[in-house]
Structure 1
Amino acid sequence: MLQTYFADMHIHIGRDIFNGPVKITASKNLTITNILKESSRNKGINLIGVIDCQSPNVQLELKQLIEQGQAYELDDGGIRFEEVTLLLGSEIEVYDENCQGPIHVLCFLPTLAEMEQFSEWLVSKMKNITLSSQRYYGSAKELQYKVKELSGLFIPAHVFTPYKSLYGKGVKRSLEEVLDPDLIDGIELGLSSDTFMADQISELHAYTFVTNSDAHSLAKIGREYQEIEMKDPSFKEFMYALHQVEGRKIVRNFGMNPKLGKYHNTVCDACLHPMDPEATICEKCSSKKIVKGVADRILELKDFHGENTSRPPYLYQVPLEYLPKLGPKTFQKLLDHFQTEMNIIHHVPYEKLIEAIPEKLAHSIIQMREGKLQVNAGGGGKYGTVSES
C-alpha cells in the first residue's frame, strides 16, 4: 500500500566525527548524528538526503551508528534511524570544458559500500575528499556514467542560482551542452524559483522537480521539501517516485515563495540596489558587479508560454522560524505540545494552536498553511522577509 512521506534531499554536514570541517560554511553542530535526530524527533521528516557522504569520516560515523544498533541499512537502499531514512548523497562542483562556469550536482548511492566505491573513484578527481562541494576534475558526462555504474541517482542542484548552477553559470541555453539528458533523474529548483517559473523552459518538462532546503544548520532542515507517495522511505522507492513508477510520485512540493530567495531579483552585488537585468553599472554606487536574478535569467531562457498541467501542486511555505514573533521559546513550546514541525505546519487545527500560542501567531501559521503569507522580495545574497499580518 502506498502512503505519503515528507522528504528533504539536500542537507549539509558541518563537522565530522573528529570535529573536522566538512561544509565549512555550515553550523558546527550539524553532524550526521544530529541531523538524523533532528529530522526524526523534531522535524518529522521521513526521508532525508545528506549530500556530504563521500567524506570517509562521515561514512565512519554512520558505520559506528550501525555497529551500535542505532541504525541499519535497508534492503532497498538507504539507512534507517528511528523514524527517518537517510539516503547517501554527494554534492559535487563540476568544471566541464563545455561549461561557462561551475555547476553543482547531487549524486545519490544506494548503500554505504557503493558510496565508498564512489569516494575511492573521486579521490583521483578531487583535491580534498573530506570537504563538501569540492571541485571535480573531469567531464560532467563522465560523472554521470560513474553514478549510473554504481546504480545511483543524478540530480542537477539549485539549477537557477546565479553562482555554481546549471542555468545560472553552466550553460548558455540548454542542459544538453553539458549533460546527457537521459541520465538525469530529477531537477532541483532552488530557493529562488518554483514549478511555474521552471516550466517556462520546455526541456525541463521531462523531469520531476524536487524542492530541498540546502540546509547549513539544523534549523534550516525542511526549509523546502516534498511530499512523496511511495511504499516506504528508501532509495528504491525514491527512485521510483522520481520516474513515476507503479504509482509512486511526488504529490506536493513545498517551497518558499521565490521572492524570499536570496537571488530572485537582479541587484548590484556591492550595494544590493535593484537593477535592470540589462544594466552594466550601478546607478547608485557605480559598481560594475551585477548579479542577474533568477526571475530575469528564466525570462532569457523562456521558450514555453502555456501551463504544464502534469505537475503536482507547488505550495508556498516557510519554516516556522521565519514567522514574525515566533522566537526560540515559542517554537519549543509548540514542539512540546505538538511533537514535530511537520505536524504543526500541516495538521494541528487552529483551535488547538491558540491553546498554546497567541492568536495572531496561530493565524500566521494557518496563513502559511494556505499559502497566503505576504512577503518582501530578496536578491543579491539577501533573503526576502515575511511581512507581519
Structure 2
Amino acid sequence: MIRLPQYFVDLHIHIGRTKSGKPVKITASKSLTLTNIVDYSNRVKGLNIVGIIDSHSPEVIEELRGCIHKGEAKELTGGGIQFSNGLVLILGSELEIYHESCDGPFHVLTYFPTIEAMVTFSEWLSERVTNITLSTQRVYENSDSIQLKVKDLDGIFIPAHAFTPHKGIYGKGVQKSLTEVFQLSDIDAIELGLSSDTNLVNGIAELSNISFVSNSDAHSLEKIGREYQLVQMEEPSFNELVLALHYKKGRMIVKNFGLHPRLGKYYHTSCEQCFTHVGEQTVCPKCSSSKITKGVFERLEELNDPNHKKVNRPPYVHQVPLEFIPKLGPKTLMKLRDYFGNEMNIIHHTSLSQLKEVVSEPVAKAIVLSRTGELSISAGGAGKYGKVE
C-alpha cells in the first residue's frame, strides 16, 4: 500500500485586521493580517494547512478574491485556497451560540469548501448577528438551525476549545451531553483546547466516534502553530480534510501536538484574584475572594465515565512552544529560525548537538526535553498560563 503524504495543520487562526486596517478580531494583534498569516504560517512556522476562522467577514472575502484575481492564490478543485508559497487555506468562521438550557454562550468552528459557500453562509449569518464584519459574533438563531445550515453547505462543524470554562461547550454550555444542544452525528470533531489533551478527554463516552483536533486559537503571529495536528491525506484540500476527520480511505489524523495541559490558562480550579489553586473550595484560602474559575482538569473529572473503555486514538504529543522555554528570548529564537529554517524543524527534527551549535546547552537541553514531556511545569488556572520551572 502506498503511504499517503502527511501535512501539518492548524485550523484556528484569527484575522486581526483587514487589508484596509479595519478590525476583525478586536483582541487580536494588528499584525495578524491575511498576508502576514499566509507568509508566517509557512515560512516561519512550517505549517502546510491553516484555517482562518474569520473568513465570513466581507472584507476578508474580498481580499481573498483579490489574491485569486492577481494570481497569488487559486481555489482547489477539492476545496480550499492554495497560495503561491504552497500554503492551503481552509475558509472558516467561529460563532458564538447561546442556548436556553446552557449556563452561558459557547463557541463553535465552521468551515466551508469554497468562497461561494462562504459567501452564502456570510449572507445568511449577516441577518442573525449584530456586526458581520467582526469575529466570533453572537448568532441569534437556535443551535439546530445553525448546525443544519452548515451541513446544507457541505461544511465542517466543530465545537471550539470545548472544555474551557469560558465559551467552551462542556465548560460553559451543556450540563453533561452535547445532545442537549446538537446532533452528535453532524459534529465532525471536537477541538480540545489548550488546557486538555486526548488522555484527559478520552473517558467521555459520547465522544468515542468523534475525532479530536488540536489548534492554536492564534491571536498573534507568534501563537500560530502552538497546537496543531499531523494529517495524512492524498493532497492538502478541504475534501481530503473531511475524509481525514472521519478516518476514511486511509486518510487520518496521525498525531496531535499541543501544549502540556498544565501550561494552559485554565488547567486547575483557581482564584481569579490571586490565581491560587483552590481545589473544591468556594472561597480562596489566600485572599478570601469568592471569584473562582473551575479548571478543565476538575471539569473533566465530572464528565469522564470511569467504566467507559477508552478509544484507541492517535498519540497526543506534548510540546512546549519555544517562547515558553526559559532563557530563550526573541533574539535567540530568531537565530534558531534563521539557522534551521522554521519551527517544525526546530521542534521535531534537530538533535541536541545541532541545537548546541546555535544556543546554550541549557536551552538546547530544554528544547529536547520538551519533546518527551520531561520538563517541570507549574500549572495554570483562572486565565493565567502555566510555566516551565
Q: TM-score, with normalisation over the residues of structure 2? A: 0.97
Instruction: Tell me, yes or no, if the aligned pair for 2:208 and 2:311 is still in contact at 8 Å.
Output: no
2:221 alignment counterpart: 218
Q: Which of 113, 118, 132 is 1:129 aligned to?
A: 132
Determine helix, strand or coil for the equivalent of 2:222.
helix
Equivalent pairs counted in the alignment come to 386
Q: What corresponds to 1:103 in structure 2?
A: 106
Structure 1 unaligned blocks of 5 or more: none
Instruction: Provide the C-alpha distance between the structure 1 equivalents of 2:205 and 2:18, rounded to a whole number of angstroms.
Output: 41
Q: Which of 33, 40, 62 matches 1:60?
A: 62
Q: Distance in 2 between matches of 1:186 and 1:141?
A: 17
Deviation at 1:199, TM superposition (A): 1.1
Give the drift of 1:225. 0.6
Q: CA deviation at 1:325?
A: 1.2
Contact 1:6 1:228 in 2 (8 A): yes
- Selected match of 1:93 from 91, 96, 105: 96
Cα distance in structure 2, aligned partners of 1:139 and 1:281: 36
CA 1:380 to 1:17, structure 2 compared with 1: closer, same or farther past 3 Å?
same
Q: 1:234 aligns with which of 237, 241, 253?
A: 237
Measure how far apart 1:61 and its partner are.
1.3
Instruction: Give me the whole-angstrom Cα distance separating, in 2, the residues matched to 1:347 and 1:272.
Output: 36
Instruction: Give the alignment's TM-score, normalised by structure 1.
Output: 0.97
Question: CA–CA distance in 2 between the matches of 1:18 and 1:210?
Answer: 32
Shift of 1:335: 1.3
Deviates more, 1:279-288 or 1:322-331: 279-288
CA distance in 2, matches of 1:360, 1:274: 30
Return the alpha-carbon distance in structure 1 between the equivalents of residues 104 and 203 of structure 2: 23
CA contact (8 A) 2:204 2:308 kept: no
Q: Secondary structure at the match of 2:44?
A: helix
Runs of 5+ consecutive residues of structure 2 not aligned to the other structure:
none
Deviations 1:289-315 (A, max 9, x none): 211101111111121446625101111
Asked if the contact 1:268–1:290 (Cα under 8 Å) also holds between the matched residues in 2, the reply is yes
The amino acid of 2:207's aligned partner reads L
Aligned partner of 2:325 in structure 1 is 323
Q: Secondary structure at the match of 2:267?
A: coil
Worse-superposed segment, 100-109 or 281-290: 281-290
Alignment of 1:17-32 (within 5 A): 17-32=19-34
Query: In the TM superposition, what whole-angstrom CA distance separates every residue of 1:191-248 from its partner, at most 9, and x where no partner exists?
Result: 0111011112111111100001101000000111111111111101111100001111
Q: Would the aligned equivalents of 2:195 and 2:266 in 1 still touch at CA under 8 Å?
A: yes
What's 2:363 paired with? 361
* 2:369–2:375 Cα contact (<8 Å) kept: yes
Establish whether residue 41 from structure 1 lines up as the match of residue 43 from structure 2.
Answer: yes
Of the candidates 284, 287, 304, which is equivalent to residue 286 of structure 2?
284
**Alignment match, 1:51:** 53
- 1:116 deviates by 0.5
Looking at structure 1, the residues matched to 11 and 36 of structure 2 have their Cα atoms a distance apart, in angstroms, of 16
Q: Show the counterpart of 1:113.
A: 116
Residues 313 and 219 (structure 1), Cα distance of their counterparts in 2 relative to 1, 3 Å cut: same
Moved more, 317-326 or 167-176: 317-326
Q: RMSD of aligned C-alpha atoms?
A: 1.2
Query: Does the CA contact (< 8 Å) of 1:140 and 1:178 recur in 2?
Result: yes
- Do the aligned partners of 1:45 and 1:84 also contact (CA within 8 Å) in 2? yes
The separation in 2 between residues aligned to 1:233 and 1:368, in whole angstroms, is 28
Report the more deviating stretch, 144-153 or 95-104: 95-104
Task: Give, in whole Å, the separation in 1 of the partners of 2:337 and 2:275.
Answer: 37
Is the aligned partner of 1:206 residue 2:209?
yes
Deviates more, 1:294-303 or 1:218-227: 294-303
